[in-house]
Structure 1
Amino acid sequence: MFENREAHARSPAHEVALDCLTAGVDGADPEGATRDALAVDDGHLDVTTIETTGLDLAAFDRVLVLGGGKAAPGVVRAIDARLGDRIDDGLIVVPEDDPRVGESIGAVALEAGGHPVPTPRGVTATEKLLGMAEAADERTLVLTVVTGGASALLAAPAGDLSVGDLRRSTRALLDAGADIEEINAVRKHTSQVKGGRLASTAAPATVLTLALSDVVGDPPSVIGSGPTVPDETTYADALAVLTRHGIDVPTVKSHLDAGESGEHPETPGADGSLPDAPTHVVAGARTAIDAAAAVAEEQGYEPCVLSSRVRGEATAAAPTHVAVAEEAAAAGDPVDPPAVLLSGGEATVDVHGEGKGGPNTEFALAAALSLAGRADDAGDDLVVGAVDTDGRDGATDAAGALIDAGTVTDRSAARDALDRNDSLGFLDGRNAALRTGPTGTNVNDLRVLVVPGRR
């Protein structure tokens, strides 16, 4: 999985870290997870995750598969394997650099959109998708696929907004370090597809959603901005996000102001206005963590899950993770080594420089800086790995990085790199960046901290 793995596997602890990261990414495979969730028997479709939804396929004249996201092709492959020629039509929007753009999976076409900001191609594809949803009737089953990246890929500007307006507001929110709930509050109120509007468009069809979660806690309304899920945010909430982060995109603010004044309809809320559309989350951050933990245990390391819900600034989260690992190394708390500490979630970056990096390379560099030059030796043998499970950390070509106490030898240079948001540039110079290429999944960040032994 990892390019130049041999160069990264400098010690048994480095090898364990790489094995755990690989297992985590593989464990969140969307095709396998979706196959496990679906069963078709004698014309009856059952979808089982935490709960089960059963559907009699004889009740439908047509089956459509609609949606998007980085991991959407894997989900669709599993749906096609289970339903085959029962699928009549479909369209999913995937990143423009996906080599499968223009191809199809069974009856489902793959068309291109933009990520992490929307593009005109994404608008064209999404408007086509909305047309297919609008043509659905009461004897249509719409299987909606929503995975990480769908918020940007499924782009259909509301009102008089343009794709350029969406691009500017999305980029400004990302650069300001807004969290996903804040970003999605704005996205939902500037879109024709998000915040339950896809399900509303497809009514009176039966809508069922299969999701791969890239957000903390797996709330369906946040995954892909919840295109089939009731939205509890309002135009006022979206305006508050712009104010809080100092976002100045006049056309977007004017649209939101008009919505707050009642000139645009609110997103379908939890008031019963949206038809029932069950959502099944087939995999998420905990899926990857559990797979990584199993490999750690197989290799004789005690796994300890810190959290699957880490959020906030990546550079702030890193020293705390390192401190817990050092405590384990020095005192055997909260776990006696050899151990592997694991966490997932969605860290953010406050962009104030023009360097290259993402949340995972910033986390890794901040962790390396925290380990460097300490007076004690509790962290001497620690190895820390952090990756985005989709293989793209932010807008970079790296998945993340693997570091140890020797990664940073010039603390001033490391601090300067963080100040310039050039964590990837620094880590590339230390041969610490990890690259995988697109992985086909997306359950956000995965971090492993290997603690070889207690001194």
Structure 2
Amino acid sequence: MSQTESTRNLREVAETIFNAGIKAVDPYACVNRHLKIADGHLQVGKIHYSLEEINKLYLIGIGKASAVMAQRAEELLGSHIHDGLVISKYRHGVPLSRCRILEAGHPIPDANGVNATKDLLELVSNAGPEDLILCMISGGGSALTPAPAKGISLENKQETTRLLLDCGATIHEINTIRKHLSQIKGGQLCRSANGARMISLILSDVIGDDLDIIGSGITAPDTGSFNDCKEILSRYGLWKKIPKPVYNRISAGVAGQIQETPKPGAPEFVNVDNQIIGSISDALSAAEKEAKRQGFTPLILSSMIQGEASEVAKILCAIAKEIRLSGRPIPSPACLLSGGETTVTIKGKGKGGRNTELALAAGIELSGASQTLLLSAGTDGTDGPTNAAGAFVDGSTASRAVAFGLSASKYLVHNNSYPFFQALGDLLITGPTRTNVMDLQILLLDE
């Protein structure tokens, strides 16, 4: 990356701030803070359970971070665990001693996920009223646990998921529909637990930390409905494009011919306790502290950033320009921080994710700006269907691209952000971080 020494330093600072945010939501540490064993009792948050009164203790996990979460739970619980099963994304597993670990497809569900979910349902159905099921849940659980409802095939779910992803639907919208095409999501797993006590430790990857959206609310009451599914699909122009079996099931649900997912107050949740143990807010707070330690004035703009990635980039860059012009809302050296999950409406046939798309749009907006750098990256280490977490951009990005024969605007139109940054050497590649709390944007303005 042929830049000035100052810009190279900004890149290093941005990565240091990003890593501080990742460390704060390390799943091992999050579980360690919320799960304790003392004096014959299991303490989960502020709730205590006598280990002597638990007949059998089962440990299960779903999501990108679930393997590491289960690893710490295993270390704490040891021989108290009767049986266990964890479903995680390919390359996100870790060695476990008391739980089987199965890997499956994400973000598009696959046959391995179907088979793993069958095993999970079988394990949970072995429990009874005197037993405890401890659940480790993180983002990615929705795609990793496909259990198609009657009349729905895996291919139907895959095609529906692709259509929703390509049109820019939010994770809230996608998961609302996933729950109504499943035998397990939207709290339905609790129906299989035969009255066993269930405790879920949850690492949030959704805006607002909505329990019924994280992992499609596998142990949480569902606030959505078949009517909501039809409204979402209609709004995106997908109602007549979805596979016929999906159309038929949602139509039957709207007509009241299919049982709804369990709602708040349903008997399935009498013995269920859900606890958030980490979120984007924790990552932002840690990033804020590190930015201050690096000599920048930090400002957290929001932990709930959403919308089209390229439009969000324009807003972030507009605030950066205002700082340069007037010193508002904070003076430089400044560090603007935001977190959330943007979307990309696919119009081209390029390769990229929401973070590299945001960065590419920002590179156009920041063209010529000195001492300014933006990093947008996924906390899980992956950005869409790529091996990158995100990308760096600064005031020289657009002009450097020209020297490589690249047009930033053309690559943006074709949703081809990954090859653009790959050519410039500006991708951030971390490998799987084994955590997942959405995305972080770090915008640095030096003096």
Bucket of the pairwise TM-score, normalised by the shorter protein:
over 0.9
Supply the distance in 1 between the matched residues of 2:160 and 2:5 (Cα, whole angstroms).
Answer: 38
Tell me if 1:295 matches 2:290.
yes
Secondary structure at the aligned position of 2:269 is classed as coil
Secondary structure at the aligned position of 1:227 is classed as coil
Asked if structure 1 preserves the Cα contact closer than 8 Å seen for 2:129 and 2:197, the reply is: yes
Supply the distance in 2 between the matched residues of 1:77 and 1:329 (Cα, whole angstroms).
Answer: 47
Tell me if 1:305 matches 2:305.
no
State the partner residue of 1:324.
Answer: 319
Tell me if 1:230 matches 2:224.
no
Tell me if 1:156 matches 2:147.
yes
- The residue identity in structure 2 corresponding to 1:146 is I
Asked if structure 2 preserves the Cα contact closer than 8 Å seen for 1:303 and 1:342, the reply is: yes
State the partner residue of 2:389.
Answer: 399
Q: Offset at 1:47? A: 1.7
State the partner residue of 1:281.
Answer: 276
Which runs of 5 or more structure 1 residues have no equivalent in the other structure?
Answer: 374-378
State the partner residue of 1:376.
Answer: none
Supply the distance in 2 between the matched residues of 1:294 and 1:68 (Cα, whole angstroms).
Answer: 31
Tell me if 1:93 matches 2:82.
no
- The residue identity in structure 2 corresponding to 1:315 is S
Tell me if 1:30 matches 2:27.
yes
Post-superposition CA distance 1:24-78 (Å, at most 9, x none)? 1222100011101111111212222xxx222222221111112311111111112
Post-superposition CA distance 1:289-317 (Å, at most 9, x none)? 11111111112112110111100111010
State the partner residue of 2:342.
Answer: 347
Asked if structure 1 preserves the Cα contact closer than 8 Å seen for 2:7 and 2:371, the reply is: no
Tell me if 1:110 matches 2:101.
yes
Q: Offset at 1:200? A: 1.9
Tell me if 1:202 matches 2:179.
no
Runs of 4+ in 1 over 4 A off after TM superposition: 6-10
Asked if structure 2 preserves the Cα contact closer than 8 Å seen for 1:71 and 1:440, the reply is: yes
Secondary structure at the aligned position of 1:158 is classed as coil
Asked if structure 2 preserves the Cα contact closer than 8 Å seen for 1:9 and 1:18, the reply is: no
Secondary structure at the aligned position of 2:268 is classed as coil
**After superposition, where does 1:408-427 map in structure 2 within 5 Å?**
408-409=398-399, 413-427=407-421
Supply the distance in 2 between the matched residues of 1:314 and 1:32 (Cα, whole angstroms).
Answer: 31
Asked if structure 1 preserves the Cα contact closer than 8 Å seen for 2:40 and 2:50, the reply is: yes
Supply the distance in 2 between the matched residues of 1:420 and 1:281 (Cα, whole angstroms).
Answer: 38
Supply the distance in 2 between the matched residues of 1:372 and 1:336 (Cα, whole angstroms).
Answer: 21
Q: 1:78 aligns with which of 64, 72, 81?
A: 72
Secondary structure at the aligned position of 2:362 is classed as helix
Q: 2:332 aligns with which of 321, 337, 340?
A: 337
- The residue identity in structure 2 corresponding to 1:26 is K
- The residue identity in structure 1 corresponding to 2:373 is V
Asked if structure 1 preserves the Cα contact closer than 8 Å seen for 2:133 and 2:196, the reply is: yes
**After superposition, where does 1:346-385 map in structure 2 within 5 Å?**
346-373=341-368, 379-385=369-375
Asked if structure 2 preserves the Cα contact closer than 8 Å seen for 1:358 and 1:393, the reply is: yes
State the partner residue of 2:131.
Answer: 140
Supply the distance in 1 between the matched residues of 2:127 and 2:262 (Cα, whole angstroms).
Answer: 19
- The residue identity in structure 1 corresponding to 2:119 is K
Supply the distance in 1 between the matched residues of 2:325 and 2:75 (Cα, whole angstroms).
Answer: 51
Supply the distance in 1 between the matched residues of 2:75 and 2:25 (Cα, whole angstroms).
Answer: 18
Secondary structure at the aligned position of 1:393 is classed as coil
The percent identity for this pair of structures is: 37
Q: 1:8 to 1:257 in 2, by over 3 A?
A: farther
Which runs of 5 or more structure 2 residues have no equivalent in the other structure?
Answer: none
Q: Offset at 1:9? A: 8.5
Supply the distance in 1 between the matched residues of 2:411 and 2:142 (Cα, whole angstroms).
Answer: 30
Q: 2:427 aligns with which of 413, 430, 433?
A: 433
Q: Offset at 1:343? A: 0.5
Q: 2:42 aligns with which of 40, 45, 67?
A: 45
Post-superposition CA distance 1:251-287 (Å, at most 9, x none)? 1111111222233211001142322311111111111
Post-superposition CA distance 1:185-211 (Å, at most 9, x none)? 110000011000011211300011011
Asked if structure 2 preserves the Cα contact closer than 8 Å seen for 1:309 and 1:346, the reply is: yes
State the partner residue of 1:21.
Answer: 18
Q: Offset at 1:114? A: 1.0
Mean CA deviation greater in 353-362 or 89-98: 89-98
Q: 1:187 aligns with which of 175, 178, 181?
A: 178
- The residue identity in structure 2 corresponding to 1:20 is I
- The residue identity in structure 2 corresponding to 1:403 is V
- The residue identity in structure 1 corresponding to 2:443 is L
- The residue identity in structure 1 corresponding to 2:287 is A
Supply the distance in 2 between the matched residues of 1:304 and 1:395 (Cα, whole angstroms).
Answer: 31
Secondary structure at the aligned position of 1:16 is classed as helix
- The residue identity in structure 2 corresponding to 1:190 is L
- The residue identity in structure 2 corresponding to 1:349 is V
Q: 1:169 aligns with which of 155, 160, 170?
A: 160
Post-superposition CA distance 1:416-446 (Å, at most 9, x none)? 1111110111111222111111111111101
Tell me if 1:267 matches 2:261.
yes
- The residue identity in structure 2 corresponding to 1:151 is S
**After superposition, where does 1:112-127 map in structure 2 within 5 Å?**
112-127=103-118
Supply the distance in 2 between the matched residues of 1:189 and 1:405 (Cα, whole angstroms).
Answer: 46
Q: Offset at 1:404? A: 0.2
Supply the distance in 2 between the matched residues of 1:8 and 1:194 (Cα, whole angstroms).
Answer: 51
- The residue identity in structure 2 corresponding to 1:110 is I
Secondary structure at the aligned position of 1:236 is classed as helix
Q: Offset at 1:372? A: 1.3
Asked if structure 1 preserves the Cα contact closer than 8 Å seen for 2:67 and 2:93, the reply is: no
Q: TM-score, normalised by structure 1?
A: 0.93
Asked if structure 1 preserves the Cα contact closer than 8 Å seen for 2:226 and 2:253, the reply is: yes
Q: Offset at 1:17? A: 0.8
Q: TM-score, normalised by structure 2?
A: 0.94
Q: 1:182 to 1:7 in 2, by over 3 A?
A: farther
Mean CA deviation greater in 408-417 or 184-193: 408-417
Tell me if 1:449 matches 2:439.
no
Supply the distance in 1 between the matched residues of 2:6 and 2:64 (Cα, whole angstroms).
Answer: 29
Asked if structure 2 preserves the Cα contact closer than 8 Å seen for 1:9 and 1:15, the reply is: no
Asked if structure 2 preserves the Cα contact closer than 8 Å seen for 1:213 and 1:284, the reply is: yes
